[in-house]
């Protein structure tokens, strides 16, 4: 297991060296996106409309942050990860159109290993770390689609040493979550 310090926008060579189980700290721009934001991105893609942000080499964080406005600037109060499985069905289509290099969330994503191969990694962030995550956010650069509501809008965040993030699914087809499931099943079967 290795530890990496990476910056966005990510390059393919950055993520192809990562192996499931490695630890990553991320700096640069991260975009939050939950269910509604994913659906809105796909709707705009279907209409061949340009997004108001650039997903080339981007990191998408499955997060619905709690923000406050102080002196006309947004500040993150809490920004913990949300369950990534909800976005599993939309992710392959998103990755067909956009060169996103990292997805960040909690709990893993089943059924997307093939969609991630050679192009994107899934980075797991521990649930319950909303204050820690907010502390890594140095600036809220922008908010896109605020009409979706605070947790569903796309927040463009400037982060510094965001993590620790564990590579849950790498670009080589290794899925840490699947290995844990298999190990647990084998252990259960041996108990019976």
User: Active-site residue numbers?
Assistant: 38
Spatial distance between the Cα atoms of 156 and 65, rounded to a whole number of angstroms: 11
Spatial distance between the Cα atoms of 39 and 87, rounded to a whole number of angstroms: 9
The pair phi, psi for residue 66, each rounded to 5°, is: -100, 120
DSSP line for 61-115: E-B--EEEEETTEEEEEE--B-BGGGGTTTHHHHHHHS---EEEEBS--TT-HHH
Exposed / middle / buried, residue 183 (Cβ in 10 Å: 0-12, 13-18, 19+): exposed
């Amino acid at each position: 297991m290795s530890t990496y310090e990476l910056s966005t926008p990510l390059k393919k060579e950055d993520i192809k060296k990562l192996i499931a189980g490695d630890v990553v700290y991320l700096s640069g721009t991260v975009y939050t996106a939950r269910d509604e934001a994913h659906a809105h991105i796909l709707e705009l893609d279907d209409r061949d409309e340009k997004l108001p942000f650039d997903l080339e080499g981007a990191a998408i964080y499955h997060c619905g942050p709690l923000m406050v406005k102080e002196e006309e600037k947004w500040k993150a109060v809490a920004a913990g990860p949300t369950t990534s499985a909800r976005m599993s069905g939309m992710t392959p289509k998103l990755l067909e159109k956009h060169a996103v290099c990292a997805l960040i969330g909690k709990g893993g994503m089943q059924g997307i290993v093939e969609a991630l191969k050679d192009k994107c990694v899934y980075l797991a962030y521990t649930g319950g770390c909303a204050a820690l995550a907010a502390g890594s956010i140095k600036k809220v650069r922008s908010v896109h689609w605020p009409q979706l509501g605070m947790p569903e809008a796309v927040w463009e965040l400037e982060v510094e040493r965001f993590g620790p993030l564990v590579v849950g699914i790498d670009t080589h087809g290794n899925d840490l979550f699947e290995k844990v499931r298999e190990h647990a099943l084998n252990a259960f079967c041996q108990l019976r």
